[in-house]
Amino acid sequence: MNIAIVGLGLIGGSAAKALSGFKDAHVFGIDTNKKTLEKAEADEVIEEGFTSADNILDKMDLTIICVYPEALKDFLNKYKNDFKEGSIVIDMAGVKEYVMKAAKSSGVTKRVNFIGGHPMAGREVGGYDNSLDTLFEGSGFLLVPDEDASDESVETVMQILKHMGFSSIKKTTAEEHDETIAFTSQILHVIAVALSKNDYYYADKAFKGGSFRDYTRIALINESLWSETLMENRKYLLKRIDEFEDEMRIIKQALLDNDKPSLCNILRNDRLLKED
Amino acid sequence: MNIAIVGLGLIGGSAAKALSGFKDAHVFGIDTNKKTLEKAEADEVIEEGFTSADNILDKMDLTIICVYPEALKDFLNKYKNDFKEGSIVIDMAGVKEYVMKAAKSSGVTKRVNFIGGHPMAGREVGGYDNSLDTLFEGSGFLLVPDEDASDESVETVMQILKHMGFSSIKKTTAEEHDETIAFTSQILHVIAVALSKNDYYYADKAFKGGSFRDYTRIALINESLWSETLMENRKYLLKRIDEFEDEMRIIKQALLDNDKPSLCNILRNDRLLKED
């Protein structure tokens, strides 16, 4: 089985490393950065690296595209006729309506089994040098198969994901993915960034405990990638922000009213629900 | 040196455990729960436990009060004439204007060296059973000495705090404490609680990564304690919430305007500032 990884950054590099030992897989890397390819070859993470996808993709049974959503769209449009007929193509981008529409309109979904993907794992640092063979251990993975992808191709991808270390693999739709991820991931980072703008963010470290350190880490995002994915998902993200602001208003009102029983009730409900 | 710990919960229990081996200290416990005292005696964390502070405090060189702010106020008013003259009394509550005013108006600050305190450490679980001798290792501690407390008493307290494991000990004022802590701790928990009210909070775990798990832990607060401390600090907390809402509005506007360069700039500034 020939596998190409397009983009050997944090996710692509970790995917290549985590593929080690998967059946009879031969892993190849495609990246514009020659140095990265040389490193991955020296690490024996890939068998061979290519600075362009030209004349490569028709030999691949599986292509894993690990680039930003807009670059992914361009890649699909450029190479739509190059993929091996009936092969599997998956992506690793954090938005799925955008990606699935881009795949559909490129026509690639008629030629290959196109399966959208989103690994729920990351680090505060990016690039191949920070990639880890254990990055996906115990993490979730969201799968969004195109309507024309075969059940067999989805099954193959699931086996590969399990080998990579993912422990919760869920098939979902592009819509459910995007509206849910706007909450379970995107708004959390947006809030942490908004907080980091406050002058008190730079208070003496004696004022800061574990919660502060958690928020700080969550605020550390790659601005190029995240400004793309947040913007591509702004329809749902704005809804989640509105819902959050409504809940903040309720707490704020309890504070304004000096209404301790209400405030206590808000805090208590939360705890009880989570212990279910 | 005789030391009494009032309230052997998570903080008081951890303080008693962390005092082990401090010079010639004799540690006593005061708690309304007889079972807790028996456990602490069996653990050799305290030499002796008392279910009431009556006839105890006049033998203590240091009294560490680890109860909720309102109970602390009542305790000071009830026992103001019982503390040993010239001894040291510190508290461990998360708000300081409220506590320092309560101490002043009780008259106790004329009899003892009263020093407000706030350990920047905690757990998602409370009570003596969850207390740890290592809870304060590497944590911050905020000290708010009353104007009548001697420099010597502050120095003694600092030595004890270092022995307990605190690594950043900062002297501050009640006002600076409360306005800063409203940001570095309180608003972080308020936001996490507000988020936990959303239905998407209960999405399949495959949608959730490390950031989600961090927020979940931060939302797990003791509602009785926190409704008290948040309400006692509502003046500053409401200011911090307003400031946060202003920053959220800026991000929201960039999303509404589909203005990716602005959004990218907001996210990038954040990263650059934190790398200083």
Average pLDDT over residues B244-272: 91
Indicate left, alpha or beta for A127 from its phi (over 0: left) and psi (-120 to 50: alpha).
left
Q: Would the pLDDT of B275 be above 60?
A: no
Chain B: closest CA distance from residue A42 (Å): 31
Please determine whether the domains at B2-172 and B177-274 fall in the same fold group of CATH.
no
Query: Would you state the pLDDT for residue A212?
Result: 95
Residue A186 · residue A229 · CB < 8 Å:
yes
Best mutation target, B248, B250, B256, B257, to test chain A (most A CBs within 10 A): B248
* Alpha-carbon gap, residue B238 to B275, rounded angstroms: 29
Identify the pLDDT of residue A276: 42
- For residue A270, pLDDT over 80 is answered with no
pLDDT, tens digit (0-9, with 9 covering 90-100), for A195-252: 999 999 999 999 999 999 999 999 988 999 999 999 999 999 999 999 999 999 999 9
Q: Is residue A227 within 8 angstroms of chain B, CB to CB?
A: yes
Type of residue found at B232: E
Asked if the Cβ–Cβ distance from A270 to B121 is below 8 Å, we say no
What are phi and psi for residue B12, nearest 5 degrees?
-65, -40
Buried residues in A149-158 as b, exposed as e (16+ CB within 10 A) = beeebbebbb
Q: Do A244 and B195 touch (CB under 8 A)?
A: yes
Interface pTM, i.e. ipTM: 0.94
- What is the mean pLDDT of the segment spanning A152-174? 97
Give the total residue count for chain B. Answer: 276
Whether A257 shows a pLDDT value over 90: the answer reads yes
Cβ contacts of A237 on chain B, cutoff 8 Å: 255
Which of B124, B137, B208, B216 to mutate against chain A (most A CBs within 10 Å)? B208
Residue A106: its pLDDT value, please? 98
Tell me if B190 and A251 make a contact (CB, 8 A cut-off). yes
- How many CA atoms, within 13 angstroms, populate the side-chain half-sphere of residue A160? 26
Strands of B229-272 (E only): list them.
Answer: none
CB contact under 8 A, A255 and B243: no
User: What tens digit of pLDDT does each residue of B166-203 get?
Assistant: 999 999 999 999 999 999 999 999 999 999 999 999 99
Query: Does B251 sit within 8 Å of A223, measured CB to CB?
Result: no
Which two structure tokens, joined as six digits, stand for B39? Answer: 């456990």
Could you tell me which of B212, B207, B206, B222 has the C-alpha nearest to residue B192? B212
- At residue A75, the pLDDT reads 98
- Residue-wise pLDDT tens digits, A37-64: 999 999 999 999 999 999 999 999 999 9
A-B contacts (CB, under 8 Å): 249
For residue A176, the distance in angstroms to the closest alpha carbon of chain B comes to 10
CA-closest candidate to residue A68, choices A229, A219, A189, A188: A229
pTM of the model: 0.93
pLDDT bin (cut points 50, 70, 90) of residue A271 is low
* Residue of chain B with shortest Cα separation from A258: B231
Residue the block writes with tokens 């008190």: A200
Kindly state the average pLDDT of the residues B196-225.
93
The letter for the amino acid at B267 is L
Cα distances (angstroms) measured from residue A106 to each of A56, A59, A84, A128, A245: 19, 20, 15, 29, 38
**CATH placement of domain A177-274:** 1.10.3660.10
Each residue's pLDDT tens digit, B3-45? 999 999 999 999 999 998 998 899 999 999 999 999 999 999 9
The Cα–Cα gap between A72 and A30 comes to 13
Q: Inter-chain contact A221–B267, Cβ cutoff 8 Å?
A: yes
Tell me what the mean pLDDT of segment A105-115 comes to.
Answer: 98
Assess B187–A contact: CB distance below 8 Å, yes or no.
yes
pLDDT band at A95 (very low <50, low <70, confident <90, very high): very high
pLDDT confidence of B116, banded at 50, 70, 90?
very high
Chain B residues close to A271, C-beta within 8 Å: 220-221, 223
A 231-250 near B (Cβ less than 8 A)? 231, 234, 237-238, 240-241, 243-245, 247-248, 250
Residues A271, B16: Cα–Cα separation, whole Å:
28
Q: Average pLDDT in the B88-103 region? A: 98
The CATH number of the structural domain formed by B2-172 is 3.40.50.720
Contacts of B193 in chain A (CB under 8 A): 251, 266-267, 270
Query: What percent of chain B stands above pLDDT 70?
Result: 97
Domain assignments of chain B as residue spans, ordered by start: 2-172, 177-274
pLDDT mean across residues, chain B: 95
